[in-house]
Amino acid sequence: MEGESILLMLDREGICASSGSACTSGSLDPSHVLMAMKVPFKSAHGTIRFSLSHFNTKEEMDHIVNTMVPAIETLRAMSPFWKDGKVVKDHDNGPGPGIRHPFNDPGAVCLGKGQI
């Protein structure tokens, strides 16, 4: 799923975030770091970034987590890149050896980029 889809779902709940890496803001290219880690291209396009500080509260973090899980589940149900709860294999580059891909773990919540 695209990061922009995740951002729309989060925005509806008052959560601000960004897609992609900070060093490529304004670009639609996935993070070069994620690509070097051999994260599949389709999955790298689904990353988001949260910008947090010491002013953020536990309640705000709980709100993010409680919003992310149903948002990701909803988007996965609509995505052509997901089947039976798993990402459809990218043939151009898969995860490298020993890399646990968080999107294949239904219990994983990956907090990335933006502001709350």
Each residue of 61-100: pLDDT tens digit? 999 999 999 998 898 888 877 777 676 765 444 444 444 4
pTM for the model stands at 0.62
Residue 115 lies in a domain: no
Q: Which residues contact 23 (CB under 8 A, 6 or more apart)?
A: 31
Q: Is 23 a catalytic residue?
A: yes
Q: What is the pLDDT of residues 33-71, one digit of tens each?
A: 888 898 888 778 778 888 889 999 999 999 999 999 999
Q: Is 78 exposed, middle or buried (0-12, 13-18, 19+ CB in 10 A)?
A: exposed
Dihedral angle over CA of 79, 111, 109, 87, nearest 10: 30
Three-state SS at 19: strand
Residue 114 lies in a domain: no
Give the domain CATH number at 80: 3.90.1150.10
Residue 66 lies in a domain: yes
Residue 110 lies in a domain: no
Q: Is 20 exposed, middle or buried (0-12, 13-18, 19+ CB in 10 A)?
A: buried
Residue 40 lies in a domain: yes
| Number of domains the chain contains | 1
Residue 111 lies in a domain: no
Structural domain of 30: 3-104
Residue 9 lies in a domain: yes
Residue of 3, 16, 18, 23 marked active site: 23
